[in-house]
Structure 1
Amino acid sequence: MIIPIWEKMNLTIEEAAQYSNISSKTLRRFINECTPDFILKIGTKTLIKRKVFEKFLERTDAI
């Protein structure tokens, strides 16, 4: 079953990059430097909490 990105609870970094129009390289660098509250670590895998990420983007002027 394929779930559209806008319906997923968590996104991969690549999906979040595509969803937000931010490069995955920039997103990874930001996550590594700042440890934002929208990340979810599962072992070595990093996921993005979509709704928290959306709110973060709404209140952020620059990354």
Structure 2
Amino acid sequence: MENSKKVVPIWEKVTLTLEEAAAYSNVGVNRLREMTNDPRCKYVIWCGNKRLIKRKEFEKFISENVEM
């Protein structure tokens, strides 16, 4: 049997893992983890213990801020 898992490009995903978000934004995984620990963070979603980044909201955050 062959593995038929489809690979979706990062720019088409709705949510990203910390590693994908780091590669996509050039922001380090540790910095992203620190930023998303804030309960007011608007671009993080939790699935149990798994932390996912809402790509579009994250892009908006980056475009509206001059420092992180």
Report the counterpart of residue 36 of structure 1 in structure 2: 41
- Paired residues, number: 63
Report the counterpart of residue 8 of structure 1 in structure 2: 13
Structure 2: segments with no counterpart, 5+ residues? 1-5
Larger radius of gyration: 2
The Cα of 1:29 is off from its aligned counterpart by 1.0
Report the counterpart of residue 3 of structure 2 in structure 1: none
Q: 1:59 to 1:34 in 2, by over 3 A?
A: farther
SS of match in other structure, 1:41: strand
The one-letter amino acid paired with 1:30 is M
Structure 1: segments with no counterpart, 5+ residues? none
1:23 and 1:35 map into 2 onto residues whose CA distance is 20
Higher helix share: 1
